[in-house]
Amino acid sequence: MTGTMRVPRSRGAFSGLMLVLLGLWGGLIPFVGPYADFAFSPDEPWHVTDDRLLLSAAPAAATVLGGLIVLAVANRAVAILGAWLAVLGGAWFVVGGPLSVLWNADGVGTPLGGETRQVAEQLSFFTGLGTVIVFFAALALGRFAVVGVREARLAEELAEHDARREEPWEAHPPAGSRPEGVTQPMARPQGRYALRPDQAPPAEPAKSAEPADHRVAGEPGAGRA
């Protein structure tokens, strides 16, 4: 199970990169869009309001953080968590504006320009942007939810290696090793270090045979052959 939790970082590289770029777009476009006359009113660069922070900056930060997690981590569970964070950020881009009427928010203003540009601004700032973010986050979720063949094979090899390492030492003793307490006779020196006849260790005296039992006179059975 532990082996299948590891995934190559390339698994979420593309999705993570796209999420980071989309999050940066969603967080910066309300403040830099007026430079290109592509903005919501008021048409002023870097005009900060509570609604812009709540409806644009907050979901953008969640999307960027989720994209960085998907892009950088090699753990399946953590990457899925990052993808879900990006999903929430993208969903807030879509539904945050309509839900803001619940707390009587002033909103982020009205889109500027003609009808075509207003549609483009609405899609680029909120609805379309959030939909694309949810798409790439869902793509990352799908990729991390599937266990590849190579990952499954690697997990099996790691499990076998761990099981072999946890087996008792006596089952697979290392080469050249022997149990404690077992000694071997010392080899006699050879060559120039061999003992001369006059240095040979004295022979151990022969053990005398123990005398046999003798019957004592007066004991039962004495004198019987």
Is omega for the bond preceding 98 within 30 degrees of 0, making it cis? no
pTM higher than the cut 0.75: no
Query: How far is it, in rounded angstroms, from Cα 152 to Cα 53?
Result: 44
* pLDDT 10s digits, 100-126: 888 887 778 889 889 999 999 999 999
* pLDDT 10s digits, 166-217: 665 455 555 555 555 555 556 666 665 555 656 555 666 655 555 555 555 5
* pLDDT 10s digits, 5-54: 777 778 889 999 999 999 999 999 999 999 999 999 888 899 999 999 99
